[in-house]
Amino acid sequence: MTETTMLNLRKQEKEHSFTHESASALSLSPLDKTETAIIPLQQGSLAATDAQVEETEPTRLTRALDFLVRYPKLSVVFTACAVATLSLGTWVGALFFENKVLKHQINQRQQAAKVESAEEIKSRIDEAKTQMSQLQNQMEAQQTDVILTEQASLAGENARLLQDLNQLSKPQFGAPLVLLEAASVKFAANPANKDQATTIDVPFNYALFTVVMQPTPALTEKGFQSYFVELLNPKGKGVAWSEKLLKATTPSIPLTFARRAITAGKYQLKLYGLVGKKKEFVEQYDLQVNYLSDPALKPAKKAVKKK
């Protein structure tokens, strides 16, 4: 209970005691003897006092105001806090509203960007299609030119092959044939001769010629079951022809060449013996090929310089 309530109770007790004393002094003797009649009055007055006390009890607002009056510094602090809270709430509300506005603007910009990007992508696709069609047309034109060129070259090659076939299909009776001796054998017989090549003259009307490589003691002793032959070009820097050969019934090794495959010049035939997948050099044969011209064709006269 507060101090105000206590003061009110004391004041009421004093008034009640004064009233009781006055009544006892003025009352008659029968009333003096009956003390039990006063007790109910005291209890009733106390009940009424309690009711008054309850009715006069201060509310929360009254207590708050009383507290602020008693502590002025705290009231200033509470007031500042309330103002700050109100300001903070206002600021948060403004931020929330601004956030909504910004989200709406971002959504609008994203939609506009999507529309622009879609149009840009569509234009790029159209441009790429145009470029692809142009490239396809160029490739088709180039392929047509290449096909025509290849057809012309193939036609020429076919004509040449038909001519060679006609020549090869004719009987080659009396075709040139020459026996080739190994370079080591020739050098042993005549060391002073620097040119150890065997010459073969092919007439103009023959498309084939045959060379027969003669065996040597080294070739006979080793007894290879298969051979490998290389024909080096006249400059000796490349292989003009090569082939794997099986051992013949005779010790000599015949080789037939087509005129169209071998040009005129000096060649080297290298013979290897095969042992599994390894090649073992055996002998070398030197060959000079000459193609004779048609005697019916007169050679062109050389122009005589006038003095």
Domain boundaries, the chain: 3-57, 177-291
pTM of full prediction above 0.85: no
Higher pLDDT, 139 or 12: 139
Res 90: pLDDT: 92
pLDDT band at 31 (very low <50, low <70, confident <90, very high): very low
pLDDT band at 175 (very low <50, low <70, confident <90, very high): confident
Higher pLDDT, 5 or 307: 5
CATH architecture of 177-291: Sandwich (2.60)
pLDDT digits (tens, 9 = 90+) for 39-80: 444 444 545 555 554 555 667 778 777 777 777 777 778 788
Q: Is the pLDDT confidence value at 285 over 90?
A: yes
What is the C-alpha to C-alpha distance for residues 215 and 287, in angstroms, rounded to an integer? 16
pLDDT band at 270 (very low <50, low <70, confident <90, very high): very high
Find the range with the poorest average confidence among 98-102, 202-206, 301-305.
301-305
Q: What percent of the chain has pLDDT over 90?
A: 16
* CB 266, CB 197: distance < 8 Å: yes
User: Count of alpha carbons within 13 Å of 235, Cβ hemisphere only?
Assistant: 2
pLDDT band at 33 (very low <50, low <70, confident <90, very high): very low
Top mean pLDDT of 29-43, 154-168, 234-248 is at: 234-248
Helix-helix angle 3-26:38-55, to 10 degrees: 160
SS3 for the chain is CCHHHHHHHHHHHHHHHHHHHHHHHHCCHHHHHCHHHHHHHHHHHHHHHHHHHHHCCCCHHHHHHHHHHHCHHHHHHHHHHHHHHHHHHHHHHHHHHHHHHHHHHHHHHHHHHHHHHHHHHHHHHHHHHHHHHHHHHHHHHHHHHHHHHHHHHHHHHHHHHHHHHHHHHCCCCCCCEEEECCHHHHHHHCCCCCCCCEEEEECCCCCEEEEEECCCHHHHHHCCCEEEEEEECCCCCCEEEEEEEECCCCCCEEEEEECCCCCCEEEEEEEEEEECCEEEEEEEEEEEEEECCCCCCCCCCCCCCCC
